Amino acid sequence: MKRRILPTGYPAAALTAAFIFAAIAALIRLQTFPGLDEKIAARVQEWESPLLTSGMTFLSWMGSGLPLVLLTAVIMGLLYRMLGFRREIGLIAFTALGSALLNTGLKHLFRRPRPEVYRLAEAAGFSFPSGHSMAAFSLYGLLALLLWPHLRGKPGKTVLLAAAALLILAIGLSRIYLGVHYPSDVLGGYAASGCWIAAVLALYRKLALAAAGNRSRE
């Protein structure tokens, strides 16, 4: 299968996402909009119902620990078997691991306590940024970017982007609904993960171009 070089623009995207993350962190630290997080979270929790709680609990479970690791492994296996992905599998694993380590580091840097509100689930550790949001954005966002060049028709690309966006947003929303994260934790997670993915893809593209240039000179 012919390798397709990823598009340009990743360094600028990484800087933009980093700026957004820094802005969110600053607004939280300075308490620029006191009570806004709580008001939004309370409005989301007004939707509570047994069926919705079950769905949100499942989405949250999908974005955590072992289930996410197993899902990532299955996806990598399918990509290898169906599309012949090899380097891309290493890219997915590296991005996922880096996202988890980055999240841990950022949580210990900001040390924001979790919401003291009505909870439908329990969670330990610090709150900002949301680990589930970062993991979902890293996995499904990266998959969408890697699969995009392999889809020719506009309908297929539209479905791909819609599915990735829906999963990312739903997992982030589930953490707010369950009362274990503030909305700003989720937004911060998206921004941090977006910065990380863009930086990794910028490096990956540079290495891919260098490898292609070496092959052309052989």
CA dist 186 and 135 (Å) reads 11
Distance of CA 214 to the CA centre of its chain: 33
**Catalytic (active-site) positions:** 132, 181
Give CA–CA dist 74/144, Å, rounded: 16
Alpha-helical (H) ranges within 84-182 are 87-110, 131-136, 142-147, 154-177
The Cα-based distances of 193 to 8, 62, 72, 86, 137 in angstroms read: 18, 17, 16, 23, 6
Closest CA to 27 of 191, 199, 177, 196: 191
Tokens of 67: 């289930």
